[in-house]
Amino acid sequence: MPVEVSNESEIAVDEAELAGVCRFVLGEMEINPMAELSVLCVDTEYMSSLHERWMGEKGPTDVLAFPMDEFDSGRPDDPEPGPALLGDIVLCPSVAVRQARAAGHSMDDELVLLATHGVLHLLGYDHMEPDEEKEMFALQSKLIDAWRAAPREPVTGAATGQESGSR
């Protein structure tokens, strides 16, 4: 599953881990393996501008998801399931650092949570209503627990976001 990760923030992030968790979540959700996803890490200034432009809210947020195409689940009865660009997930590591401290875990753990959250938004999940929130957050927790329990191969070479099974 092609996942492109680009870090344009001032904070170092584990790009291979972000790509890996996104691929894992898409696989668990049985999304077409040809589906493409982009993850962009940005600074607070850029995230603030996106947050205001697209959500009408001032200040930076932790994650935004921008769906692109209808995704193809790769159903067996579809003769030629085509690749789809799922969309973009934008993360703000500076916000993730603050949230991680408040939650008592690492920034990497927070970014895994935020990336998972973003993928679920791209797949149509939301948390505007209490029932939706309960469903989305339960699924998010289940996926993160499964990600942490899943065996992974060691990463070799530069972290391009394209390695298989990276963490």
The SS3 of residue 79 is: coil
- In our burial notation (b when 16+ CB lie closer than 10 A, e otherwise), range 52-88 reads eeeeeeeebbbbbbbeeeebbeeeeeeeebeebebbb
Residue 145, pLDDT > 80, answer yes
Phi, psi (degrees; rounded to nearest 5) at 84: -140, 145
Q: Which domains occur in the chain, in start order? A: 3-75+82-149 (3.40.390.30)
Confidence label for 53 from pLDDT (cuts 50, 70 and 90): very high
pLDDT of residue 81: 54
Confidence label for 137 from pLDDT (cuts 50, 70 and 90): very high
Is 105 annotated as a binding-site member?
no
Crossing angle of helices 107-122 and 93-103, rounded to 10°:
110
Confidence label for 126 from pLDDT (cuts 50, 70 and 90): very high
Is 51 annotated as a binding-site member?
no
pLDDT of residue 78: 56
**CA–CA separation, 92 and 106 (whole Å):** 14
Is 117 annotated as a binding-site member?
yes
Task: Give the contacts of 139 (CB within 8 A, at least 6 positions apart).
Answer: 120, 125
